[in-house]
Amino acid sequence: MSADAVQNAPGAVDSRHLLVVGTGPGLGASVARRFAREGYRLTLVARSPATLAALADALRAASTDVTIVAADAGDPDRLSAALAPLFAGPGAPGVVIYSAALAASDELLSVTPQQLAAAYAVNVIGAVVTAQLAVPAMRAAGGGTLLFTGGGFADALPESLTTLSLGKLTLRGVATMLARQVRDDNIHSGSLTIRGQIAAGTPFAPDRIADAYWAIHNEDRDGWREEYRFDGAVATTDA
pLDDT at 146 exceeding the cut of 70: yes
The reported pLDDT for the residue numbered 44 is: 97
pLDDT at 145 exceeding the cut of 90: yes
The reported pLDDT for the residue numbered 11 is: 55
Q: Look up the pTM and report it.
A: 0.90
Helix axes 27-37, 206-217, angle to 10 degrees: 50
pLDDT at 1 exceeding the cut of 70: no
Which residues have C-beta within 8 Å of that of residue 23, sequence separation ≥ 6?
A: 29, 31, 32, 44, 45, 46, 52, 99
* pLDDT bucket at 7, cuts 50 / 70 / 90: very low
Give the pLDDT confidence of 53-64 residue by residue, as tens digits: 889 999 999 999
Residue 119 burial by CB count (10 A; 0-12/13-18/19+): exposed, middle or buried?
A: buried
pLDDT at 238 exceeding the cut of 70: no
* pLDDT bucket at 10, cuts 50 / 70 / 90: very low
Nearest Cα neighbor of 163 from 196, 128, 118 is 118
Q: DSSP state, 125?
A: I
> Is there a contact between 19 and 43 (Cβ–Cβ < 8 Å)?
yes
> Is there a contact between 145 and 188 (Cβ–Cβ < 8 Å)?
yes
pLDDT at 155 exceeding the cut of 90: no
pLDDT at 237 exceeding the cut of 80: no
**How far apart are alpha carbons 126 and 129 in whole angstroms?**
5
| CATH number of the domain encompassing residue 152 | 3.40.50.720
pLDDT at 3 exceeding the cut of 50: no
**How far apart are alpha carbons 80 and 130 in whole angstroms?**
7
The reported pLDDT for the residue numbered 6 is: 41
Q: How many domains does the chain have?
A: 1
The reported pLDDT for the residue numbered 236 is: 57
The reported pLDDT for the residue numbered 234 is: 60
Q: Where are the beta strands (DSSP E) in 32-143?
A: 41-46, 66-70, 92-98
Q: Residue 105: which domain range? A: 3-236
Helix (H) or strand (E) holding 236, with range, is: strand 235-236
Give SS3 for 190. Answer: strand
The reported pLDDT for the residue numbered 42 is: 98
pLDDT at 8 exceeding the cut of 80: no
Which residues have C-beta within 8 Å of that of residue 78, sequence separation ≥ 6?
A: 71, 72
**How far apart are alpha carbons 9 and 155 in whole angstroms?**
39
Which residues have C-beta within 8 Å of that of residue 58, sequence separation ≥ 6?
A: none
pLDDT at 222 exceeding the cut of 90: yes
**How far apart are alpha carbons 174 and 154 in whole angstroms?**
13
* pLDDT bucket at 4, cuts 50 / 70 / 90: very low
* pLDDT bucket at 174, cuts 50 / 70 / 90: very high
Give SS3 for 94. Answer: strand
The reported pLDDT for the residue numbered 169 is: 94
